[in-house]
A and B are shown apart, each in its own frame.
Chain A
């Protein structure tokens, strides 16, 4: 009983401090915000924004899932040359801000073609290119968790395609669905890309209330529909994924398509996506930026902020991944919902809540710790969903055998559970790390004076500076994430 209480206390301490206390303070400051939410839906403008965000979320999720799933199958199941390098290159779009892709595409395309971008379809096209790596990562992790013995047995009796559709994909369902869900939530709440292309969205409506009207109550009220949609999606996810799936095994062996006829199309698909979603927008963004001298000066002055980004994002990633690993197996009731609050709450609201509740503790507030705290509050949800999916793929028989043999719980966790899930934990850490490195809203509100992370420096210096400054700092920011990926997924 005492252990359960202790476990519950530790599990809840993080969402309590990083999400519930700040948001409770915020809602207490604006008690009528919730009741005024109803009025929002009487506004034609807000209804249109809600509908746009919903469509963008659904179609980006579908498009990203199609891309991410195809690529994960191609890289994991077809014996392509340089598949590890391909896998790394395919994850690169995630390391850049979606806003940068919007700029890249709009600079690249001629006027007649760029009109397409200034539409919901254009926003979906750009966002799918930014977020498909989420599905790619999670699907690849899920595919590596499908039991090779099961696939190999099935291959004795059935065709590879039948094994793929009958065994592999159903077993990887949790990873694919979690990826699709996360992309939906990310694109539904995206601000930069729809705003740049002139598409009214819920996040834009929140920004207008905060930054044009300076009306925090209205801003908080406008955030509630984001949360409502998120809750509906969570309920759907639980309905579809309530049954456990799959068995754990190593990533080698199992179903592999070795036919040479598949290698060429597989390679073309991967290279085609790299060309369309990486090379082209970067060509638009960086073609004017080949000024080595300016890049060198910008980078040499960015050393401190680079180090701070590394520290803030690693700390947030580590805390979130650790907590998720410990507590995602048997989630407490409503735990996911609380984490979703932190994830979908607009950064400005969360930052104001954190300032209000933790600002009294000057040692926290005058250092970077408060920013790390807020980053964990925002992105713990990502890590939690990844680890929740990982537990759905875990075969409990190994742990059960160890327990029956008399091993203690910590020993079972460190010798069996953790090694089995370390790839998933790495993905959880990396997602939090990457999104924290790119988090502009929270960082610009909470960074200590004189202690800006790289993403803030990137955007404060990009205005009225040569393009080389933006491009070199932007590349430096993504290089940190790439380094983390190489180190953790090698």
Chain B
């Protein structure tokens, strides 16, 4: 017992003493580890700067890191936050956690994907898509968010909880695009048409893949993941003859008081480079690049030929905060 305790103590001291190298950068990322880790490792290989990573989990609704950054605000230990959507960095900007940095590599990125003051910059992104089970749906596939109101899909479609993650982003964007009254009516009619509410996008994709529902709204990386695992599913990009689908860029930001500011800037430059966008386009997540010269991923159009919702991300962020109390009541009715 005593030997065991001594070993434990030594182990903890060892753990506590680890990682004191000077050239390092601490990155928190809510982008799935399977996609973000290779990009961060590529940076490490290229620059020799050690990257210490902290990832988020879907079980904490990809918001654990935002809470962690808020709690660490007075004594930051993170240098760079790589978010999988621009809304969380917008929240951090409002709460004073970020400092501006305009990377030279951000020049080629369209201005609507950047914060005007340089608090965050967008790069490669995902879109909201419809995932259909091809064994259950034999006729015409759903092609619009409005198709969820169709009587023939009653009780056969799913959406993730709109209080969290990219679904909250999607619903807030609809509120901005349609106005409050129309969007609320839409959500109430969805409920009346038997919407199945899942705990996450991953679960929606799994339900479709296993035939628990006929279709559901997910992000394109969830859809490709199911397709590559061989499930009988097909991805539809919705509303291409209407108002377009929601495009959700990644966003990278420098933390105020970052312990390694120079390394952090190098990391941001790398993430905003064409090379990083290429890596994310070729990975399973098939993210759509924003740099004009980078080829789009297989099976997806380029950002210029994709019809996307014309929304201002800061406005969507503000709207999300505004509608959350109403959404909470809406969710409680399930």
- Quote the shortest CB–CB distance from B329 to chain A (angstroms): 7
Q: A440's closest neighbor in chain B, by CB?
A: B59
Mask: chain B, 11-40; 1 = CB below 8 Å from A; 0 = not: 110011111000000111000111100000
Residues of A within 8 A of B202 (CB): 463-464
- Quote the shortest CB–CB distance from A352 to chain B (angstroms): 5
Contact among B5, B75, B78, B95 for A318, CB-based, below 8 A: B5
- Knowing A359-B75, A450-B53, the reply to whether A212 touches B70 (Cβ < 8 A) is no
Q: B201's closest neighbor in chain A, by CB?
A: A463
A459 to B33, CA, bound (A): 9
Pair B8/A461 contact, Cβ less than 8 Å: no
Is A48 engaged at the interface, CB distance under 8 Å to the other chain?
Answer: yes
Is A178 engaged at the interface, CB distance under 8 Å to the other chain?
Answer: no
Pair B58/A463 contact, Cβ less than 8 Å: yes
Contact among A107, A314, A365 for B77, CB-based, below 8 A: A365
Residues of B within 8 A of A111 (CB): 211-212
- Quote the shortest CB–CB distance from A101 to chain B (angstroms): 14
Pair B58/A466 contact, Cβ less than 8 Å: no
- Quote the shortest CB–CB distance from A99 to chain B (angstroms): 7
A460 to B210, CA, bound (A): 22
Pair A449/B54 contact, Cβ less than 8 Å: yes
Q: B51's closest neighbor in chain A, by CB?
A: A450
Is A257 engaged at the interface, CB distance under 8 Å to the other chain?
Answer: no
- Knowing A365-B77, A463-B202, the reply to whether A212 touches B67 (Cβ < 8 A) is no
Residues of A within 8 A of B285 (CB): 464
Is B146 engaged at the interface, CB distance under 8 Å to the other chain?
Answer: no
- Quote the shortest CB–CB distance from A109 to chain B (angstroms): 10
Is A17 engaged at the interface, CB distance under 8 Å to the other chain?
Answer: no
Which chain B residues in 196-232 approach chain A with CB under 8 Å?
197, 199, 202-203, 206, 210-212, 221-222, 225, 229
- Knowing A210-B67, A444-B57, the reply to whether A464 touches B168 (Cβ < 8 A) is no
Pair B35/A464 contact, Cβ less than 8 Å: yes
Which chain A residues in 52-68 approach chain B with CB under 8 Å?
none
Is A114 engaged at the interface, CB distance under 8 Å to the other chain?
Answer: yes
Pair B222/A464 contact, Cβ less than 8 Å: yes
A351 to B70, CA, bound (A): 12
- Knowing A449-B53, A456-B55, A459-B59, the reply to whether A369 touches B64 (Cβ < 8 A) is no
- Quote the shortest CB–CB distance from A189 to chain B (angstroms): 16
Is A214 engaged at the interface, CB distance under 8 Å to the other chain?
Answer: yes
Is B326 engaged at the interface, CB distance under 8 Å to the other chain?
Answer: no
A321 to B87, CA, bound (A): 44
Residues of A within 8 A of B32 (CB): 460, 463-464
- Quote the shortest CB–CB distance from B30 to chain A (angstroms): 10
Residues of B within 8 A of A466 (CB): 229
Residues of B within 8 A of A450 (CB): 19, 51-54
Residues of B within 8 A of A461 (CB): 33-34
Is A4 engaged at the interface, CB distance under 8 Å to the other chain?
Answer: no
Residues of B within 8 A of A441 (CB): 60
Pair B55/A315 contact, Cβ less than 8 Å: no
Residues of B within 8 A of A365 (CB): 75, 77
Is B269 engaged at the interface, CB distance under 8 Å to the other chain?
Answer: no
Pair A449/B12 contact, Cβ less than 8 Å: no
Contact among A198, A210, A311, A355 for B11, CB-based, below 8 A: A311
Mask: chain B, 36-54; 1 = CB below 8 Å from A; 0 = not: 0000000000000001111
Pair B34/A196 contact, Cβ less than 8 Å: no
Contact among A45, A314, A348, A451 for B67, CB-based, below 8 A: A348
Is B281 engaged at the interface, CB distance under 8 Å to the other chain?
Answer: no
Residues of B within 8 A of A48 (CB): 332
Pair B57/A440 contact, Cβ less than 8 Å: yes
List residues of B whose CB falls within 8 A of some A CB: 4-5, 8, 11-12, 15-19, 26-28, 32-35, 51-61, 63-64, 66-68, 70-72, 74-75, 77-78, 91, 95, 163-164, 168, 197, 199, 202-203, 206, 210-212, 221-222, 225, 229, 284-285, 324, 328-329, 332, 334
A-B contact pairs, 21 of them (CB 8 A): A198-B197, A198-B199, A212-B61, A214-B63, A214-B66, A352-B67, A355-B68, A356-B71, A368-B16, A444-B56, A444-B60, A445-B64, A445-B71, A449-B28, A450-B51, A451-B15, A456-B57, A461-B33, A463-B34, A463-B202, A464-B284
